[in-house]
């Protein structure tokens, strides 16, 4: 990825590694069902803060890696994350001035969109899951959004990622 000429590409990658680790760690079944979608949250943050760097293509690559990690059909997360990155980088100016709770609502909608796309593709490919299980992760993702936002903004300022 040709991001080395700008500062802090390493930090961005590191944050995604962290998000992947959080989404792989074993949890009990009940916690599995409400696990926030960390990768989506981190992607939303970066494409909101640095839309010129992290956008559709980046989201697509991350989605492809997520497909390999989850051993789902190659391209399903890629498509969904590319769309989320597109929406976020399109609305980034508006999103930046929102207060936290309003951002959280938008994040909720984005994660729902992401989950819906994944759900549709799974439905088409023959393993449609329980529809309620897409609502709860979206909800917890929105709840965790302020934390993710504050944490990543901190990191972005400390390491001057731009």
Report if residue 83 touches other proteins, rule: CB under 8 A: yes
**Of 58 and 108, which CB lies nearer to other proteins in the complex structure?**
58
d(CA 150, CA 70): 28
- For the chain, the residue count is 162
Report if residue 125 touches other proteins, rule: CB under 8 A: yes
Nearest approach in angstroms of CB 157 to other proteins is: 26
Report if residue 64 touches other proteins, rule: CB under 8 A: yes
The full DSSP string for 76-129 is HHHHHHHHHHHHHHHSHHHHHHS-HHHHHHHHHHHHHHHHHHHHHHHHHTT---
Binder among 3, 65, 113, 135 for other proteins (CB under 8 A): 65
Report if residue 72 touches other proteins, rule: CB under 8 A: yes
Question: Using CB under 8 A as the criterion, which residues of the chain lie in contact with other proteins when the complex forms?
Answer: 17, 20-21, 23-26, 29, 32-33, 35, 55-57, 60, 63-65, 68-76, 78-79, 82-83, 86, 121-122, 125-127, 129-130, 133
């Amino acid at each position: 990825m040709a991001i080395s000429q700008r500062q802090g590409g390493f930090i961005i990658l590191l944050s995604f590694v962290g998000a992947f680790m959080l989404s792989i760690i074993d949890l009990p079944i009940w916690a599995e069902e409400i696990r926030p979608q960390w990768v989506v949250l981190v992607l939303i943050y970066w494409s909101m803060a640095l839309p010129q760097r992290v956008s559709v293509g980046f989201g697509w690559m991350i989605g492809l890696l997520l497909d390999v990690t989850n051993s789902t059909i190659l391209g399903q997360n890629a498509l969904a994350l590319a769309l989320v990155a597109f929406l976020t980088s399109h609305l980034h100016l508006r999103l930046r001035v929102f207060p936290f709770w309003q951002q959280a609502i938008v994040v909720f909608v984005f994660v729902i969109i992401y989950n819906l796309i994944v759900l549709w593709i799974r439905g088409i490919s023959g393993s449609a899951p329980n529809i309620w299980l897409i609502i709860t992760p979206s909800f917890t993702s929105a709840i965790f959004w302020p934390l993710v936002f504050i944490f990543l903004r901190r990191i972005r300022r400390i390491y001057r990622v731009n």
